[in-house]
Amino acid sequence: MEIQNDLPKTFDPQGAEDKWYQKWLDKKVFKPVPGKQKKTFTVLMPPPNVTGKLHMGHALDATTQDALIRYKRMKGFETLWIPGTDHAGISTQAVVEKLIWKQEKKNRHDLGREEFTKRIWAWKEQYGSEIVNQQKKMGVSCDWDYSTFTLDDIPNKAVKKFFVMLYNEGLIYQSDYIVNWDPVLQSAISDAEVEHKEVKGFFYYLKYKVKEDPDMELIIATTRPETIFADTAVAVNPNDERFKDLIGKTAIVPICNREVPIIGDEHVDIEKGTGCLKVTPGHDFNDFEIGKRNGLPIINILNKDGTFNKNAPEIEGLKPKDARAEVERILTELGSLVEKKDHVHPVGHGERSDEIVEPMVSKQWFLNTTEMARVAVEAVEQGDMSFFPKGWENTYFAWLRNPKDWCISRQLWWGHQIPVYYCRHCDTQWAAEEAPTQCIECKDTDIFQDPDVLDTWFSSGLWPLSTLGWPDEKAMEEKGFDKFYPNETLITGFDIIFFWVARMMMMGMKVTGKAPFKHTYIHAIVRDKQGRKMSKSLGNGIDPLDMVQQYGCDAMRFTLAAGSGYNRDLNLDPERIEGYRNFVNKLWNAFRFVYPFLDKAKDELPVKSEWHLHDKWILAELNTVAKTMNEAFDVYRFDDASAEIYSFVYDKFCSWYIELSKNILYGNDEKAKIIRATMLKYCFKKIVNLLHPITPFITEEIWSYFDDKSLVATQEYVEFDKSLENAEVQEMMNKFIDITTGIRNIRSSVNMKPKDEIDVKLFTDDKKLAKFVYESRHFLKDLANVKSGTIRNKAQEKPKKSASLATAHTEIFIPLEGIIDLNEQVNRIKKDMEKTQNEYKKVESKLNNQNFMANAPEEVRAEVQEKAKLFQDKLQSLNQILDSFL
């Protein structure tokens, strides 16, 4: 019977995505609205940098946060998802500076600070909005009215207030300290912004003479001989019998002939190296600490651009690589270079510039984090904030339990300029939230502001506060600070736990005494299908918008959700996205089947007495899905939620329930048609509801055919219903599916034609199952073309000349005489046995080969043994089948 169907044959993702996103905006779906829970649920978006396109990591962020916020919205929470973008000081300045140089051959100094920052603002206005458009294409349901930029007025006030507060408490101070210096950016960068790469180099063994004993020479190994111009001591371990008598004497540094003390310090490793260490406090982190312990002077030999300065006259103006070659030449001429050995070692590179980072002493601003770190640790230890998965708290603790003072200044022009002012007249220094016009001491007007800007993470650390209006009281009231702070959940990657999570915890608790969020869910890092980090150099990056264009947003989101649970990495292959697009299409095709019968469906389920066994089964299975998905979402197991609904739609609803429904819907029993159409409508609405947080667009499209007056986005999420539990029917139906699948497999194994009707003999000792199969017997005709059959207990005699298969609960026999050519079947089995026997002999010969067994790797021997067992099992099975035909 032909059924008229006016639904499109294929789902159009692009048309649905634009249409429904605009509809959600028009209906203000993303605004916080009080719900039945009478509780708020706030999620804070990690602000993407304004430097370019979003990548797959952002897409995973967006998917997991959006799935969570849509779920909580449907659960009846007053939800708020706060969006925003970060000014990304180093990255943005680098991008714009390169652009200006390319177009005008000018650097920032040619333009001056005011003009340069004006250019960056213009660039930000042009490209910053692209990120929002990309996020909308991915379906993010945040409240755009809360959108914040880290250099907006409120965040700027927050940064100044917090800085001044800590400055006045003495926690922020200025000091000459060794930092990671990026010579390209010409700025200090944090330890976390340094990537260590293996670099091929050399160990240079140098001779240092001892002044008091001209015949004695100390051999010192170094990978950086060019830094000898900054040596201010030679160190030995005071417990080293070889050198302890030299402590207090004087060493002479080659080339510059500087006399430096020989000191004792336990940092020197007695076992490794030569036992003697050149100490360069100005250009090595460990040496800097040795210098502090021993009161050594500091000599700086580098300019800000990484070239050598006048303190190293022989190499002045050279870059380190060229300087090293020149120093090697001079040392060789002087006879001070004893030996040169190949050596591979990790060298720090700037994350943004990819240039070798130079340790250098520089005057910087620091924040003493000791007390704030202690409080942040206690908050997690006491459960005020919890990590999911819990193991990530160890990464958090590793940094906070051993805090270092945080270098918060950067020598940039783009960012929050440090709110410290100086008087040229009386040298007074002070911090102020508002720019002063005169000195606070002498009242002179010749004042200036510190030229440095703050580390980007300083403003990002205040993100949970500033996005809700702090410290502006009017803005706090308008944005609901007291209602939405603390946030409920933070979702981010593990690579910024110490960058961002720890800083937000320290700073938020310093201001409010409360942890800024209750949960931190750490999602995976997206890598390519081979597990490699996505990068421009490898050319393995995947643009999420390309995937949206090619496969649809729902398919991409489902792929990311299905791969995001408690795993560390998510290896992404575009073919997986294609696979989940097939799932989206499967859902659409299933709905196309159901759609023509919806006019017969009722809005309410029929009374239970009218439910068929299959109805009870599918409702119980769907109820189990609802239970699992609710539980999974509550602990951020997006993978479990995705797997549960995927399996249900494919393996139960489409493959079985719809198939079992076809003859009813196309039959003549009108009452049965109405009941089945009602059940299908009910199930489909629940499926769409459950899927909506993960695949919002197709679910909203399908929902519109059920109800064009409401949105699925605003429906209550499906809850577990105890009255629908039916473990017995679920067990029986799943066994019935096993039996049906077994019959189909037997038919396939003997090449039986689909049109051939068969007789089936079933043997089981499960009386309840026998009754269930008997009551469902007519469905075996639809599903496996079974004409007739019997059900007996396993003790009964089994039929001869039959194909058989045993499940865990039922033995299935299909008599083949008169249906297929038995002689042909016997010959086919014999050929199969002969082929299997030959394959087994090849494997067996290896097992009998003593030389092979003695020398082959263990995994190879195990593979051969496994093959032998498989062939033996197959031969045994074929023998049993053959016996049944003879």
The type of residue at 222 is T
Q: Are 146 and 479 in contact (CB under 8 A)?
A: yes
DSSP 336-354: -EEEEEEEEEEEEEETTT-
How many residues are present in the chain?
A: 886
Element (H, E) at 282: none
Beta-carbon contacts of residue 62 (< 8 Å; ≥ 6 apart) = 54, 135, 138, 139, 140
- The pairing of beta strand 569-572 with beta strand 525-528: parallel
Interhelix angle 56-74/638-647, nearest 10 degrees:
70
- Say if residue 197 carries a ligand binding annotation: no
Beta-carbon contacts of residue 124 (< 8 Å; ≥ 6 apart) = 50, 87, 92
- The pairing of beta strand 213-222 with beta strand 233-236: unpaired
Q: Are 237 and 275 in contact (CB under 8 A)?
A: yes
Q: Cα(263)–Cα(238) distance, rounded to whole angstroms?
A: 8
Q: Three-state SS for 138?
A: coil
Q: Whose structure tokens read 């997006």?
A: 638
Nearest alpha-carbon partner for 127 in 75, 156, 166, 92:
92
Element (H, E) at 499: none
Q: φ and ψ at 778, to 5 degrees?
A: -70, -20
Q: Cα(75)–Cα(685) distance, rounded to whole angstroms?
A: 16
Q: Cα(8)–Cα(579) distance, rounded to whole angstroms?
A: 21
Q: Are 681 and 598 in contact (CB under 8 A)?
A: yes
Q: Cα(594)–Cα(753) distance, rounded to whole angstroms?
A: 29
**CA angle (639, 627, 389) in 5-degree steps:** 40
Q: Whose structure tokens read 């940098």?
A: 49
Find the farthest-apart pair of alpha carbons in the chain and give their distance in angstroms, rounded.
115
Q: What is the radius of gyration, based on Cα positions, of the chain?
A: 37
Cα–Cα distances (Å) from 282 to 181, 227, 291, 345, in that order, read 12, 9, 9, 21
CB-count burial class (<10 Å; 0-12, 13-18, 19+) for 127: middle
- The pairing of beta strand 569-572 with beta strand 802-806: unpaired
What the block records as the tokens of 88 is 């990304």
Cα–Cα distances (Å) from 865 to 417, 845, 861, 874, in that order, read 70, 11, 6, 14
* Long-range CB contacts (within 8 A, 24+) of 313-318: 314/229, 314/255, 315/226, 315/229
Residues annotated in the binding site for ATP, as ranges? 536
Annotated binding-site residue numbers:
536
